[in-house]
Amino acid sequence: MSAKSTISKEIFAPLDERMLGAVQVKRRTKKKIPFLATGGQGEYLTYICLSVTNKKPTQASITKVKQFEGSTSFVRRSQWMLEQLRQVNGIDPNRILHHTCQRYLTDRKPEFINCQSKIMGGNSILHSAADSVSSAVQKASQALNERGERLGRAEEKTEDLKNSAQQFAETAHKLAMKHKC
C-alpha cells in the first residue's frame, strides 16, 4: 500500500474526511540539539496533505503528517483551515490546491503567485491575495529563524551552566579533601 493511501486511511478516514492530495516535503536544514528534548523521535518523513470534510458544509484543510523512522504508522502534527491561506507561491504549482480553493472558499481566496496561467484559469483576482500569503510565509520564516537563534542561545547558556557546575563540583571536592586531612 502506498504512503498516500495509508495516510488517507489512518489520518483522514477515521475523522470522516477525504484526502484530495499529498506531497512529501523535506526540511531545508537540519539542526541537531542533543541536550534539548524537542519531542522528536529521530528521523522522519513529512507530508503536506489537502483534505475536505465529507459532511456539509464542506471544509477544506491542509494537514502536516509525519512518519517516524522505524514506524509504519503516520501522525497528524498540524492542521490549518484553507481559509487561513493568504498566498500560495506556485514555483512548483499543483492544480489541486488552486481548484480546491476555487471550489470550497467563497469569501476570501488566497493569491497564487508564480503560477502558470493554465493552472490559474486566467483569474487575476487571486494575485492580490498572494501578497498576503507571501507576507504570512515571510513572518513564519522570520519566527522560525528567531526560534533557532533562541535555541542556540539556550544551548550556549546550558553549556556555560554545565561548565560552572563541573568547576563547582571540583572545588567542593578539593575543599572536602582539604578538611578531611
Q: Tell me, what amino acid is at 172?
A: A
pLDDT band at 32 (very low <50, low <70, confident <90, very high): low
The answer on pLDDT for 163 being more than 60 is: yes
pLDDT digits (tens, 9 = 90+) for 58-77: 889 999 999 988 888 999 99
Decide: 23 and 53 in contact? Cβ < 8 Å.
Answer: no
Considering the entire predicted model, what is its pTM?
0.52
The strand pair at 60-68 and 111-113 is best described as: unpaired
The per-residue pLDDT for range 116-134, each reduced to its tens digit, is 655 555 444 445 555 667 6
Place of cell 504512503: 3
- Does the structure show a pLDDT above 80 at 169? yes
Mean pLDDT of 101-111: 77
